[in-house]
Amino acid sequence: MSFEITGRLVAKYNIVQRTETFKTREFVIEKTEEIAGRPITNYIKFQCVQDKTAMPDRFNTGDEVKVLFNIKGTKWVKDGKENYITNLDAWRMEHVKLGEQPQPQAGGFVPDNTPPDIVDDLPF
């Protein structure tokens, strides 16, 4: 299942060669939302793997970006104790332009924020 989030790019880290054939890279976006009338800022760290590690290079710190990602979880046992880790695996990044029109959602639905005209055409 794929997810997406929009925010401001605040950090890009170096590529880390985990094994001879596996590499990762992390980056962070800042997302501020108004909740109960006050702004709440979250910092979301993503990981890119393999050929996607170059993806953040196209963007500058401070750019508004949309990140498409998958949630992946891993379980491992160490010293008889179960451990879990969750990663947000980014697979695509796009620039977000201010004033951009809403994009179609699942099923082709585009939200329209204009109030509907009231039409009373019911037959009863």
Q: Where are the domains of the chain?
A: 2-99
- Note the pTM of the prediction, 2 decimals: 0.72
Looking at residue 120, its amino acid is D
**In this predicted model, what pLDDT tens digit does every residue of 39-71 receive, in sequence order?**
999 999 999 999 999 999 999 999 999 999 999
Q: Which residues pair with 95 in a beta bridge?
A: 65
CATH topology of domain 2-99: OB fold (Dihydrolipoamide Acetyltransferase, E2P) (2.40.50)
Say if residues 9 and 45 touch (Cβ distance below 8 Å).
no
| Nearest-angstrom CA–CA distance, 100 and 10 | 21
Which tens digits make up the pLDDT trace of 71-120? 999 999 999 999 999 999 999 999 998 655 445 445 444 444 444 444 44
